A and B are shown apart, each in its own frame.
Chain A
Amino acid sequence: AQKVTQAQTEISVVEKEDVTLDCVYETRDTTYYLFWYKQPPSGELVFLIRRNSFDEQNEISGRYSWNFQKSTSSFNFTITASQVVDSAVYFCALPNSGNTPLVFGKGTRLSVIA
């Protein structure tokens, strides 16, 4: 079965530090997609990125970047120059199979201290 492991339960950094959130996955599919979501203290879940297993290039969006490594089944998320507003729980996810519902990791709680 599909599985997502986010080994870091909680991370605390000082503002302006860089931080990497780890995501390791298991899948039986040869083609698959990976997702990251953010859940700020207000509680809603916000979509951040969807990535295709065919494309192993790093993705960068402002201070956010994602490193996809098929060889190690990892899809790590880095925040550069972290800010207090980045404090949230971050979830990595992939579909259970094909195009069906997402299976989520248990999340990593990031606290950015001013």
Chain B
Amino acid sequence: NAGVTQTPKFRVLKTGQSMTLLCAQDMNHEYMYWYRQDPGMGLRLIHYSVGEGTTAKGEVPDGYNVSRLKKQNFLLGLESAAPSQTSVYFCASSTRAYLAPYEQYFGPGTRLTVT
């Protein structure tokens, strides 16, 4: 049981390049999330998904796109990377919340640098 995994762990991009971050979970969770963490800013939600084929915007969605074609995977895309997107990206998942929110399980993070 690997939990939540993220690929790649590190990446350096040039401004204008594109890339996709992959998140995979093996806990059969319905909900998945992408956050970014910047110094002094805590974690900010980029996009999230409450089920296969559905996505929703979070607090800081601009410049990112996501897809949830399979329940276990949640992809985060940067179409044209900018230096402001230099950050550590965390993926998380949680089970479906009926009466109460459940804890989110986090991946190890992807450190992205855009030069």
Contacts and interface: CB of A to CB of B under 8 A. Distances in A.
A35 B106 contact: no
B101 to A, nearest CB: 4
Contacts of B44: 104
B41 interface: yes
B109 A101 contact: no
A101 B41 contact: no
A47 B42 contact: no
B58 A101 contact: yes
A84 B98 CA distance: 38
Interface in B100-115: 100-109
B81 to A, nearest CB: 22
B77 to A, nearest CB: 19
B82 interface: no
A100 B101 CA distance: 7
Interface of B: 31, 33, 35, 40-45, 48, 58-59, 88, 90, 92, 97-98, 100-109
A25 to B, nearest CB: 13
B42 A99 contact: no
A44 B48 CA distance: 19
A107 B42 contact: yes
A99 B41 contact: no
A35 B103 contact: yes
B48 A33 contact: no
5 contacts: A35-B103, A43-B109, A47-B103, A100-B101, A105-B42
